[in-house]
């Protein structure tokens, strides 16, 4: 049974009421991108993601910090947070895979054995 909110929900969006993912790949002819969107897209698709590029910059900053004995606590904290987020994502993916394998075993043990490699 519809509620009065159903009429307004397509018009008004509360925080986190819709997709909360954000694509950060360059969009062709976007006013958000300075320079050449075609080059940006090529670099991201063929060379390295923004995360990979930023990771290299952070590594370089940490190497310079160590070489010059100049502490960069904000950079170190950022690197730790990134590594923690990566570890969390890997753990979640691992748990998701284990749950999927358990479901497969419950419904099709032969397929489960095949996927497990034996």
Q: Is the pLDDT of residue 19 over 60?
A: no
Question: What is the count of structural domains for the chain?
Answer: 2
Please tell me whether residues 79 and 63 are part of one structural domain.
Answer: no
How far, in Å, CA of 56 to CA of 64, rounded?
12
Domain membership flag for residue 10: no
Average pLDDT, the chain: 83
Is the CB of residue 44 less than 8 Å from the CB of residue 50? yes
Domain that holds residue 105: 73-118
Please tell me whether residues 115 and 84 are part of one structural domain.
Answer: yes
Domain membership flag for residue 7: no
Counting every residue, how long is the chain? 118
Please tell me whether residues 67 and 103 are part of one structural domain.
Answer: no
Please tell me whether residues 45 and 58 are part of one structural domain.
Answer: yes
Q: Residues 35-87: pLDDT tens digits?
A: 787 888 899 899 999 899 999 999 999 999 999 999 999 999 999 999 999 99
Domain membership flag for residue 113: yes
CA angle (48, 36, 45) in 5-degree steps: 25
Is the CB of residue 37 less than 8 Å from the CB of residue 26? yes
The pLDDT value recorded for residue 108 is 94
The mean per-residue pLDDT over the stretch 95-109 comes to 95
| pTM of the full structure | 0.61
Please tell me whether residues 64 and 83 are part of one structural domain.
Answer: no
Residue pointed to by tokens 């940490």: 62
Q: Is the pLDDT of residue 98 over 90?
A: yes
Domain membership flag for residue 2: no
Please tell me whether residues 67 and 78 are part of one structural domain.
Answer: no
């Amino acid at each position: 049974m519809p509620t009065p909110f159903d009429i307004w929900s397509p018009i008004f969006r509360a925080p986190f009421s819709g997709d909360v993912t954000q694509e950060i790949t360059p969009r062709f002819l976007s006013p958000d991108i300075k320079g050449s969107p075609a080059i940006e897209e090529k670099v991201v698709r063929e060379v390295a993601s923004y995360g990979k590029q930023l990771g290299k910059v952070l590594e370089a900053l940490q190497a310079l910090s160590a070489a010059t004995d100049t502490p960069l606590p904000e950079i170190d904290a950022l690197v730790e947070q990134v590594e923690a987020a990566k570890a969390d994502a890997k753990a979640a993916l691992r748990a998701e895979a284990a749950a999927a394998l358990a479901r497969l075993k419950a419904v099709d043990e032969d397929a489960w054995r095949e996927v497990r490699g034996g």
